[in-house]
Amino acid sequence: MVFEGLLIIFTKERYLDLFLEGLANTLILTASSFAIGFMLGLLIAVERLYGPRILRAALAAYVETIRGTPMLLQLFLLYYALPSAGIAMSALTAAILGMGFNSAAYQSEYLRASLRAVPSGQWEAALSLGMTKWQAIRSIILPIGLRSAIPALSNELVYLLKYSSIAYFLAVVELVYAGKIIGSETFAYLEMYTLIALVYLVFSLLITRSMKKIESKIMIPGLAVTAERT
Amino acid sequence: MPGSTVFTSIAPYIKVILDGLPETLLLTFGGFGIGLVVGPILAFMEIYGPKPLARLAAAIEEVIRGIPLLVLMFIIYFGLPELGIRLTPLPAAILAIGIRSLAYQSQIIRSAVISIPAGQWEAALSLGMSPVGAFINIIIPQAFRIAIPGLVNQFTVDLKDTSIAYAIGVAEIFTQAVHVAQVILDYLPPLLFVGLIYFVLTYTASSLASTLYRRLAIPGLGAGGVVTV
Amino acid sequence: MSDIVLRVEDLWKSFGKQTVLRGVTFTVKRGEVKVLMGPSGGGKSTLLRTINLLVRPDRGRIELEGIEVFPRPAMKINKIRERIGFVFQQFNLFMHLTALDNVRIGLIKVKKLPPEEATRRAIEALQMVGITEDLWHKYPAQLSGGQQQRVAIARAIAMKPSIILMDEPTSALDPELVGEVLKVIEELARRRTTMLIVTHELDFALEAADEIMIMDQGVIVERGTPDEILRNPKHERTRRFIERILRRQERLNTLK
pLDDT given at position B59: 95
Using a threshold of 3 CB pairs under 8 A, tell whether chains B and C touch: no
Is the CB of residue C166 less than 8 Å from the CB of residue C199? yes
Chain A residues near residue C78 by CB distance under 8 angstroms: 127, 130-132, 135
Chain A residues near residue C155 by CB distance under 8 angstroms: 129
- 3-state DSSP of B157-224: HHHHHHHHHHHHCCCCHHHHHHHHHHHHCCCHHHHHHHHHHHHHHHHHHHHHHHHHHHHHCCCCCCCC
Q: Rounded mean pLDDT of A201-213?
A: 93
Q: Tell me which chains share at least 3 CB pairs under 8 Å with chain C.
A: A
pLDDT given at position B87: 95
A contact test, residue of C75, C77, C109 with most A CBs within 10 A: C109
How many other β-carbons are positioned within 10 Å of the β-carbon of residue B33?
Answer: 16
pLDDT given at position B228: 36
- The whole-angstrom distance between A157's CA and the closest CA on chain C is 25
DSSP annotation string for B129-156: --HHHHIIIIIHHHHHHHHHHHHHHHHH
The domain total for chain A is 1
pLDDT given at position A228: 45
A116 interfaces chain B, CB cutoff of 8 Å: no
3-state SS, residue C39: coil
Q: Is A66 exposed, middle or buried (0-12, 13-18, 19+ CB in 10 A)?
A: middle
Instruction: In whole angstroms, give the CA distance from residue C86 to residue C169.
Output: 10
Q: Which of A46-50, A79-83, C55-59, C117-121 has the lowest mean pLDDT?
A: A79-83
Q: Which of A7-11, B27-31, B67-71, B83-87 has the lowest mean pLDDT?
A: A7-11
CB spacing of A221 vs C86 below 8 angstroms: no
Q: What percent of chain B has pLDDT over 70?
A: 92
Nearest to B148 by CA among B98, B212, B198: B212
In a domain, A228, yes or no: no
Domain boundaries, chain C: 1-83+200-256
Q: Which of A35-39, A135-139, C199-203 has the lowest mean pLDDT?
A: C199-203
Angle between helix axes A13-50 and A142-163 (nearest 10 degrees) is: 140
pLDDT given at position B1: 42
- C230 CA to centre of own chain: 22
In a domain, A93, yes or no: yes
CB spacing of A124 vs C54 below 8 angstroms: yes
Chain C residues near residue A139 by CB distance under 8 angstroms: 105, 109
Using a threshold of 3 CB pairs under 8 A, tell whether chains A and C touch: yes
pLDDT given at position B33: 97
Q: What is the mean pLDDT of chain A?
A: 92
In a domain, A72, yes or no: yes
Instruction: In whole angstroms, give the CA distance from residue C242 to residue C228.
Output: 12
pLDDT tens, residue by residue, B88-114: 999 999 999 999 999 999 999 999 999
Diameter of chain A measured on Cα atoms: 70
pLDDT given at position B225: 37
CB spacing of A169 vs B202 below 8 angstroms: no
Instruction: In whole angstroms, give the CA distance from residue A226 to residue A222.
Output: 12
Q: What is the mean pLDDT of chain B?
A: 89
Domains of chain B, CATH where assigned = 2-216 (1.10.3720.10)
Structure letter (DSSP) for residue A223: P
Is the CB of residue C192 less than 8 Å from the CB of residue C31? yes
In a domain, A56, yes or no: yes
What length does chain C have? 256
Nearest to C199 by CA among C249, C256, C154: C249
pLDDT tops 60 at residue B189: yes
Give the range with max mean pLDDT: B54-63, B139-148, C68-77: B54-63
Class of domain C1-83+200-256: alpha beta
Banded pLDDT at A31 (limits 50, 70, 90): very high
pLDDT tens, residue by residue, B216-229: 877 766 543 333 33
Q: Is B199 exposed, middle or buried (0-12, 13-18, 19+ CB in 10 A)?
A: middle
CB spacing of B71 vs A193 below 8 angstroms: yes
Give the ipTM: 0.91
- The whole-angstrom distance between B69's CA and the closest CA on chain A is 8
Instruction: Count residue pairs from A and B with Cβ separation < 8 A.
Output: 124
Banded pLDDT at A224 (limits 50, 70, 90): low
Is the CB of residue B90 less than 8 Å from the CB of residue B23? yes
Is the CB of residue C41 less than 8 Å from the CB of residue C93? no
In a domain, A7, yes or no: yes
pLDDT given at position B8: 67
Ramachandran region of residue C16, left (φ > 0), alpha (ψ -120 to 50) or beta? left
| Segments forming the whole domain that contains residue A147 | 2-218
Nearest to C153 by CA among C92, C200, C239: C92
* Dihedral of alpha carbons C65, C67, C68, C74, sign: negative
Domain CATH for A52: 1.10.3720.10
Q: Which H/E stretch holds residue A123?
A: helix A120-128
Chain A residues near residue C79 by CB distance under 8 angstroms: 130
B contact test, residue of A62, A73, A174 with most B CBs within 10 A: A73
3-state SS, residue C197: strand
Q: Which of A152-166, B120-134, C159-173 has the lowest mean pLDDT?
A: B120-134
Banded pLDDT at A1 (limits 50, 70, 90): low
CB spacing of A193 vs B75 below 8 angstroms: yes
Residue of C nearest to A132 (CA): C78
3-state SS, residue A53: helix
CB spacing of B225 vs A77 below 8 angstroms: no
The tens place of each residue's pLDDT in chain C, 256 residues long, gives 459 999 999 999 999 899 999 999 999 999 999 999 988 888 899 999 999 999 999 999 999 999 999 899 989 999 999 999 999 999 999 999 999 999 999 999 999 999 999 999 999 999 999 999 999 999 999 999 999 999 999 999 999 999 999 999 999 999 999 999 999 999 999 999 999 999 988 889 988 999 999 998 899 988 999 988 888 777 777 788 778 777 877 777 776 5
* Partner residues linked to C7 by β-bridges: C27, C63
